[in-house]
Amino acid sequence: MSGGTTSYLEQLDRLLDACFAELEKMPDADVLAGESVQSVKERAMKRLERARFAAGRLRLAAAKEKQKTVTPLRAISTAVSPGDARRYITRVAQDREHTLAARDLAEMSDEDVLRLYQQIRELEAEDSKRDDDTGPAS
Amino acid sequence: MGREDHDPERLSTEEVGRALEEMEAADWKRAERYARIAAHGLQGMDGEDLLNQACTLLLAGNRRFPRGKKPVRVLRNAVRSIASNARVAGWGAHTDGDVLVEPEHDNEDADLSDDAPRRLAPAARNAITPEVEALAREEFEAVMALLKGDGADNEVLEAWACGMRGAEVMEITGLSATDYDAARKRLGRKIDSLTSEGRKS
């Protein structure tokens, strides 16, 4: 099994490879072996139809999975008041020594404040996820 | 998912759909024949299941469809990978990778018409216990037994299992092109008659 030996798994794989290589070399008429082109194509189109449906479900499942990480943030932004969002942004700006003048924040519309709040929370979530992925620094 | 959006070397999911739709009937038949024999011995999966799963993964973008490659080869690579993983998983081996056996010089997108020697991926090698190897031997011999026929067919099969192809097989076995072609056709018909019912199903 080790070194230069060939496992039975590899031999089996080579045999299957050879079958396909030979199938590729065979003339189309021999491969079809009497079955009509139309019949094979109809079967293939039905197969693709099933596969498209299954692929759609796979994508939907992946999109739902992705949505799970975004939904709580959207919920936060709609739950928070513009006043609370302003206070949160001010505190974050001070903590991180960001230059956001109090006057700028005061002049921003509630909608813009909530949008900025949303962006900050999303960035924080991404930072947190990255920290989780990389684990503690050694 | 959506990785194709960032990689110009792979087909978009819409292009994958078109490429498969436009694949010729003879190539679909080649894929069907290949899937049928690749499914031999798999538990709860037949060739049609393998083809469906391969098409699904390609259409969903979960599996790469390289630009410029023949669709039948891409489809065949997907079937091969799914079958290899299912086979070893069914035998109780644990692998971390998703492709069990790869060409030595390339990944899943390799052009499989070449004669590149193949080897087990390192992760798979570690997963091959003596028990798994014994089951692999059993499966290999079962497939050989199903395909074996007269002397010429057996010699061709053994040469194929050693990784040889067309001209080399004729040279080793001493078969003429006509005899080799006849053996190949007989073997092709046997592949067609294989069911998914292996000894372990």
pLDDT tens, residue by residue, B75-103: 999 998 898 888 877 776 555 444 444 44
Task: Specify the higher pLDDT residue, A6 or B51.
Answer: B51
Q: Is A3 left (phi over 0), alpha (psi -120 to 50) or beta?
A: left
pLDDT score recorded for residue A105: 74
pLDDT score recorded for residue A138: 39
Closest C-alpha to B59, from B71, B73, B69: B71
CB interface of B with A, residues 27-56, below 8 Å: 28-30, 32-34, 37-38, 48, 51-52, 55-56
Neighbours of A135 (CB within 10 A): 7
Per-residue pLDDT band for B3 (boundaries 50, 70, 90) equals very low
* B180 interaction partners in chain A (CB closer than 8 Å): none
Closest C-alpha to B61, from A71, A129, A138, A60: A60
pLDDT score recorded for residue B138: 86
* A1 interaction partners in chain B (CB closer than 8 Å): 125, 128, 130, 133
pLDDT score recorded for residue A69: 64
Query: Taking CB atoms and an 8 Å limit, are B120 and A9 in contact across chains?
Result: yes
Kindly report, residue by residue over A40-66, the tens digit of the pLDDT. Answer: 999 999 999 999 999 998 888 888 777
pTM higher than 0.80, yes or no? no
Determine the Cα–Cα distance for residues B26 and B38; give it in Å rounded to an integer: 18
Residue A94, C-beta contacts closer than 8 angstroms, at least 6 positions apart:
none
pLDDT score recorded for residue A46: 96
pLDDT score recorded for residue B176: 94
**Residue A53 is which amino acid?**
F
Q: What is the mean pLDDT of residues B190-201?
A: 53
Q: List residues bridging with A124 in a β-sheet.
A: none
Residue B76, C-beta contacts closer than 8 angstroms, at least 6 positions apart:
A20, B30, B31, B34, B112
Check if the interface score ipTM surpasses 0.90: no
Cβ-contact B31, B79 below 8 angstroms: yes
pLDDT score recorded for residue B125: 58
Percent of residues, chain B, with pLDDT higher than 70: 74
Per-residue pLDDT band for B106 (boundaries 50, 70, 90) equals very low
Report DSSP state, residue B112: T
CA angle B85, B9, A61 (to 5 degrees): 55
**Residue B65 is which amino acid?**
F
Lowest mean pLDDT among A52-61, A107-116, B149-158: A107-116
What are the start-end ranges of the H helices in B39-176?
Answer: 47-60, 71-90, 122-127, 130-147, 151-161, 166-173
Kindly report, residue by residue over B39-71, the tens digit of the pLDDT. Answer: 888 888 899 999 999 999 999 999 999 999 999
Q: What is the mean pLDDT of residues B140-155?
A: 86
pLDDT score recorded for residue B47: 92
Q: List residues bridging with B118 in a β-sheet.
A: B103
